[in-house]
Structure 1
Amino acid sequence: MNSGGVQRRLRWRDDLAQVVEAEIIPRLMLAHRSERPVRRFPARLSGADDIGRLGALLLLPEDRDVLAEIRGLIADGMSLEEVLTGLLAPTARHIGRLWEEDLCDFVQVTTAMARLRRLVHDLETLSLDPHPVDPASRRVLLVPAPGETHTFGLTLAAHFFAEAGWEVTTSFDPHLADALERLRTEWFDVIGLALSCDVCLDRLVAAVPVLRRASRNRDLQVIVGGPAFHGRPDRIRLAGADAVVDDARDAPGIVQSLLDLRIRAC
């Protein structure tokens, strides 16, 4: 295979993962807001066999009831979170690698993506929580930095904020126009920006004061996270942020501490 073909396949592999990371997982995680029941058996984790089986089902020429497979895994103890982060995203990458290695063709990959989208719709229907969000809950707006294309960590943060009782809004507009409009017209306690690489750091630095000025909340807290900030505490000040989040699971606790400090200072 020539270098051009390799590059096209690498881009397709990344696109497959981004279908899951930027579109599928955000919708499902934000829909699944109900409290999890207490498990009385060990949590079921996905493995290579699950990923290989799901990938094979998605690549078959005929339709199979993939949703039934997923529901079976959930019945065996696999959480929705594990389905999202431990199964769907790795399966998308697995299919991309198969194509890269000439083990499946373009038509199969395209069909698999369409089936992933349909699976999303079906899972979303099963996961919808009929209970309204507490109107007294605090609100967080989560966005990728301008120009950022990787949103997986951001979507995990959205999930953990929702589990902690926050009302979560995500915006994936790469130019922040949607985020700016929301800040002008809605109330948010916090905005979080994710950045994976140094290329877009200057754009994030320039965007933070613009976002603060646009906000109805004059005390808007700004948090940043992502690989671009790992091991670089100096970049918190450079970005004009109030805190950095290294692990998405810690985001709600870090932000709550910031807000508590503001309350005590008043």
Structure 2
Amino acid sequence: MSEFNGLGGQSNGLKRANNLPEDCKESLLAVIEKQIIPRLLNVQQFFPAKAKALSEQLPAGELPEFLAFTQHCLSGDGLKANQLVDALMARGLAHDRIFLELITPAARHLGVLWEQDLCDFTQVTCGLALMHQMIYRLGYESPAGPSVEGESERIMLACAPGSQHFLGLTIVADFFRQAGSEVVLEISSSESELLRAVANEWFDVVGISVALEAQLQTLPALIGHLRESSGNPKVRVVLGGPIFMIRTFDPHELGADAIFTDVREAVGAVKHLVRAR
């Protein structure tokens, strides 16, 4: 897939995992296992001693509610997921126990369901997004990457708030990685969470996928807030997504540095943007 308009696209997101091309499925599974879940949980950073103890004692370290919590997240039922957490806190469970013994095994179980083709990509995306929000609710943030400039460009890819479809993003991320970039897929579903992400880590470039025309209205403000919150005062912001295949926009009017509709063009241009900083 060469078109950058895959960012945030919904065409393949509703297919079951076993109907996806094998290379796409492997790419998504690698992102979930090696990037999203470690960034989502980052247990070693928060509680290294407890994380080690849990790894030695599993499954004893799992709360029995983790299966129900996983199902609530998979179905997008944030109300029931929050009610379950409320009940655990009412019983006096500390936030770190909920984090380690409920959310951690739930995320791992979600990965197993995906690997075994027992849930589709839409459910995985929805489930991870709800777990991500739950971690913020419990008061944890996960600065999982460097806070200063590195040798290779670091790129964050995310959907504009209002979209939660990441199939195209994973494919675009592969193109950038093959060109030597370090890429982070951010699963945040709200502006506040995106701002936390850019504040917690160093990014040379932030790429935002825009799928819906309605998202254009708030895009300039979002980009302005991303620049203000970024740990990199000279961060570049680029745009892609289906909407830009339909209409032509001046990126500067939206507050961005560039708009791309072809990922091959984007890879070289983004590197040029970083060097020209």
Bigger CA radius of gyration:
1
Equivalent pair of 2:160/2:208 in contact (CA under 8 Å): yes
- 1:28 maps to which residue? 30
Amino acid paired to 2:226: L
Equivalent pair of 2:198/2:226 in contact (CA under 8 Å): yes
Are 1:136 and 2:135 counterparts?
no
Equivalent pair of 1:153/1:226 in contact (CA under 8 Å): no
- 2:15 maps to which residue? 16
How far apart in 2 are the matches of 1:247 and 1:18?
25
- 1:222 maps to which residue? 237
Are 1:213 and 2:228 counterparts?
yes
Distance 1:215 1:246, change over 3 A: same
Question: Which one scores higher on RCO, CA 8 angstroms, separation ≥ 6?
Answer: 2
**Residue correspondence of structure 1 range 135-214 to structure 2 within 5 A:** 136-214=151-229
Using the size of structure 2 for normalisation, the TM-score is: 0.48
- 1:132 maps to which residue? none
Equivalent pair of 1:142/1:193 in contact (CA under 8 Å): yes
How far apart in 2 are the matches of 1:17 and 1:251?
29
**Residue correspondence of structure 1 range 241-256 to structure 2 within 5 A:** 241-256=256-271
RMSD of aligned Cα (Å): 3.7
How far apart in 2 are the matches of 1:208 and 1:23?
31
Equivalent pair of 1:229/1:235 in contact (CA under 8 Å): no
Equivalent pair of 1:153/1:194 in contact (CA under 8 Å): no
Unaligned runs of 5+ in 1: 1-10, 34-113, 121-134
Q: Alignment length, in residue pairs? A: 159
Equivalent pair of 1:24/1:117 in contact (CA under 8 Å): no
Equivalent pair of 1:153/1:248 in contact (CA under 8 Å): no
**Residue correspondence of structure 1 range 96-115 to structure 2 within 5 A:** none
Equivalent pair of 1:151/1:194 in contact (CA under 8 Å): no
Q: Deviation string for 1:9-42 (max 9, x for gaps)?
A: xx9x963359979997444268799xxxxxxxxx
Which contiguous aligned blocks of 4+ residues in structure 1 show a shift greater than 4 angstroms? Answer: 17-25, 29-33
How far apart in 1 are the matches of 2:27 and 2:219?
24
Using the size of structure 1 for normalisation, the TM-score is: 0.50
Name which of 100, 116, 119 aligns with 1:118.
116
Equivalent pair of 2:223/2:255 in contact (CA under 8 Å): yes
Q: Deviation string for 1:172-213 (max 9, x for gaps)?
A: 211033332221121110000001221222132321101000
